[in-house]
A and B are shown apart, each in its own frame.
Chain A
């Protein structure tokens, strides 16, 4: 075949691949948003879900999703950032560092359902937490930890060595340099990574099925005492999140408007994930501009 023709054919095939990918995204977003938007109104967002009648809402599920997200971040960000600092600053090449790197790799490649099974075994049963928000958050911590570790390590490693050496040359100790020079300089990168991972945690369902449970008790939104069983803040109650709700209504739902509820919930879920994505970019760029003095 003429080499020019084959070149043109190949080019068009590659363009086609990219077009297919873009079209897939446009179709997915378009489908979810156009089908879901019609279902979203104030009463959908603010009413309780129903188990068999029409017209259930997603108030509790939405609240649970954010509560579990917040708690997961509370556990996984400090642990992950410190782990990342270890890998970037304290680790010496050798066996132990290899073991930690392998551990991070293993944790990040574990299927989320396996993480959920571990949560069921250890947090729910051995630790006796039952199906609870805290068990769900701990399982998601396992799921999120490797992401934060990697983001932190990469962000710290991308800081110019000069900056660190300047601090050390002033007689500032290593840990103080980490605290006052490296972590602030790496902050935009870490924050962007944390927000992106928040989107992933927000949409996760498989790890929560057996840890946070498939149901929510009747919540009383005027009772903010975290030790009472109907309080939304109680971390020891079971909690069905928004993504678990989508799965549950589709596989076990018997209400007549299953599809409407699923579409509406999916649209809300996607909108929040998009918000996380966008804000990660915007906040990251903004802080970078501020710190580097470019604005």
Chain B
């Protein structure tokens, strides 16, 4: 009796395990397949973007026979005119780089200063107040920044300068404010990760807070702070609509900071919809896009380089 009972339980357990094993294995495999294919999709998407935009961006050089040197250094841009066309994109490349550097010049000190305030001066309430401020600033859409630039900053510059207000300066201020939260939050993370011990050691030697900050904390955090600024610059370089709304989009090289200018992104935004697909003008816009793509890889390489130095 007990024997039968035992065998029946054992067989039923056996069956249970066997059944379960089969479905479990299948489940496990299915899960793995789904997860791996999503991971593969991320790689495929990245390769597709790089490949498609590179091929399309090279069209103007290969199909239309545009001279690369002339494209990168030429000063006049009139690619859709009858007869004589010129395709010098240098003013836009210059515009993009100057907006990026000027914005970083504005955002880096302010952002790192705020990050030091958060992490070293008012550790508890500074954090509590500034953290949500950063999050909301990051969340404000770029068109809203552009709109405020258009209605506040442009008229302000118009009043105080000889220009019409739409200018490199306006673009720089708008983009500077936009990248400020990025720079601040990454800098704050960097400063937080500095071990308390080395700060205590500095204070223990009788250093003031300022001496500790600029002799101990800043040097220790320097690579990470540089990363924060470069990430901000990457964002500034690719920013499109906010810049387009305030910079004036003139096709000539700006002579002063209150002059109108244009960036790669602003020209693409402005002209992409009005050009015929496959025409020289259109292909040139894709080449401008290729510069943006290449630059975002360059920024990644710079960041990799900086953070590889951090480990040493």
Q: Contact residues of A with B, CB < 8 Å?
A: 3-4, 6-7, 9-11, 13-18, 20-22, 24-25, 28-29, 31-32, 78-79, 82-83, 85-87, 89-91, 99-100, 102-107, 109-115, 117-118, 120-122, 125, 142, 145, 149, 173-176, 178-179, 196, 199-200, 202-206, 209-210, 214, 243-244, 246-247, 250-251, 259, 262-263, 266, 269-270, 273-274, 276-277
Tell whether, in the assembled complex, residue B31 and residue A175 are in contact, meaning their CB atoms are under 8 Å apart.
Answer: yes
Chain A residues lying within 8 Å of B136, measured Cβ to Cβ, are 25, 29, 274, 277
The stretch among B140-148, B193-201, B220-228 that forms the contact with chain A is B140-148
Give min CB distance, B151 to chain A, whole Å.
7
Residue in A4, A86, A105, A122 whose CB lies within 8 Å of B300: A105
Q: How far is the CA of A250 from the CA of B113 in the complex (A)?
A: 34
With contact pairs A31-B148, A246-B147 given, residues A85 and B49 touching in the complex (Cβ less than 8 Å): no
With contact pairs A32-B148, A83-B38 given, residues A114 and B45 touching in the complex (Cβ less than 8 Å): no
Chain B residues lying within 8 Å of A203, measured Cβ to Cβ, are 139-144
B121-141 interface code vs A (CB 8 A; 1 in, 0 out): 110001001100101110111
Q: Contact residues of B with A, CB < 8 Å?
A: 24, 27-28, 30-32, 34-36, 38-39, 41-43, 45-50, 52-53, 56, 109-111, 113-114, 116-118, 120-122, 126, 129-130, 133, 135-137, 139-144, 146-148, 150-152, 177, 180, 184, 208-211, 213-214, 231, 234, 237-241, 244-245, 265, 268-269, 272-273, 277, 286, 289, 292-293, 296-297, 299-300
Chain B residues lying within 8 Å of A110, measured Cβ to Cβ, are 49, 238, 293, 296
Chain A residues lying within 8 Å of B27, measured Cβ to Cβ, are 173, 175-176
Chain A residues lying within 8 Å of B56, measured Cβ to Cβ, are 121
Q: Looking at B42, B56, B139, which has the most chain A CB atoms within 10 Å of its CB?
A: B42
Tell whether, in the assembled complex, residue B28 and residue A174 are in contact, meaning their CB atoms are under 8 Å apart.
Answer: yes
With contact pairs A111-B292, A250-B146 given, residues A273 and B141 touching in the complex (Cβ less than 8 Å): yes
Q: How far is the CA of A18 from the CA of B277 in the complex (A)?
A: 48
Tell whether, in the assembled complex, residue A176 and residue B28 are in contact, meaning their CB atoms are under 8 Å apart.
Answer: yes
With contact pairs A114-B238, A145-B42, A203-B140 given, residues A3 and B211 touching in the complex (Cβ less than 8 Å): yes
With contact pairs A21-B114, A86-B39 given, residues A118 and B210 touching in the complex (Cβ less than 8 Å): no
Residue in B151, B210, B289 whose CB lies within 8 Å of A117: B289
With contact pairs A10-B209, A113-B240, A247-B241 given, residues A82 and B144 touching in the complex (Cβ less than 8 Å): no
With contact pairs A86-B36, A205-B241, A251-B244 given, residues A15 and B147 touching in the complex (Cβ less than 8 Å): no
With contact pairs A121-B53, A142-B49, A246-B143 given, residues A18 and B117 touching in the complex (Cβ less than 8 Å): yes
Chain A residues lying within 8 Å of B214, measured Cβ to Cβ, are 10
Give min CB distance, A130 to chain B, whole Å.
13
Chain B residues lying within 8 Å of A21, measured Cβ to Cβ, are 110, 114, 130, 133, 137, 180, 184
Q: Looking at B109, B140, B177, B296, which has the most chain A CB atoms within 10 Å of its CB?
A: B140
Closest chain A residue to B120 by CB distance?
A: A14
Nearest first, the 10 closest Cβ-Cβ pairs linking A and B are: A111-B238, A203-B141, A17-B113, A175-B31, A82-B38, A10-B210, A103-B46, A7-B208, A86-B39, A18-B117
Known pairs A14-B114, A269-B144. 5 more at Cβ < 8 A? Answer: A3-B208, A9-B210, A18-B122, A21-B114, A175-B28
Chain A residues lying within 8 Å of B180, measured Cβ to Cβ, are 21, 24
With contact pairs A10-B210, A246-B147 given, residues A22 and B133 touching in the complex (Cβ less than 8 Å): yes
Give min CB distance, B291 to chain A, whole Å.
10
Question: Could you list some 22 contacts between A and B, CB below 8 A?
Answer: A10-B209, A10-B214, A14-B117, A15-B117, A18-B114, A24-B180, A28-B148, A79-B41, A82-B35, A85-B35, A117-B53, A118-B49, A121-B52, A178-B31, A179-B31, A203-B142, A205-B241, A206-B269, A210-B272, A246-B147, A266-B143, A269-B144
With contact pairs A3-B208, A86-B39, A113-B292 given, residues A107 and B32 touching in the complex (Cβ less than 8 Å): no
Give min CB distance, A89 to chain B, whole Å.
8
With contact pairs A103-B46, A109-B300, A262-B147 given, residues A206 and B118 touching in the complex (Cβ less than 8 Å): no
Chain A residues lying within 8 Å of B231, measured Cβ to Cβ, are 109
Give min CB distance, A192 to chain B, whole Å.
11
Tell whether, in the assembled complex, residue A11 and residue B144 are in contact, meaning their CB atoms are under 8 Å apart.
Answer: no
Tell whether, in the assembled complex, residue A243 and residue B237 are in contact, meaning their CB atoms are under 8 Å apart.
Answer: no
Give min CB distance, A250 to chain B, whole Å.
6
Q: How far is the CA of A29 from the CA of B292 in the complex (A)?
A: 31
Give min CB distance, A68 to chain B, whole Å.
14
Residue in B31, B117, B237 whose CB lies within 8 Å of A17: B117
Closest chain A residue to B237 by CB distance?
A: A111
With contact pairs A113-B292, A206-B269, A273-B141 given, residues A17 and B114 touching in the complex (Cβ less than 8 Å): yes
Residue in B42, B49, B151, B296 whose CB lies within 8 Å of A83: B42
Tell whether, in the assembled complex, residue B240 and residue A18 are in contact, meaning their CB atoms are under 8 Å apart.
Answer: no
Give min CB distance, B191 to chain A, whole Å.
12
Tell whether, in the assembled complex, residue B139 and residue A100 are in contact, meaning their CB atoms are under 8 Å apart.
Answer: no
Chain B residues lying within 8 Å of A277, measured Cβ to Cβ, are 135-136, 139
Tell whether, in the assembled complex, residue A111 and residue B210 are in contact, meaning their CB atoms are under 8 Å apart.
Answer: no
Chain B residues lying within 8 Å of A179, measured Cβ to Cβ, are 31
Chain B residues lying within 8 Å of A87, measured Cβ to Cβ, are 39
Chain B residues lying within 8 Å of A204, measured Cβ to Cβ, are 141
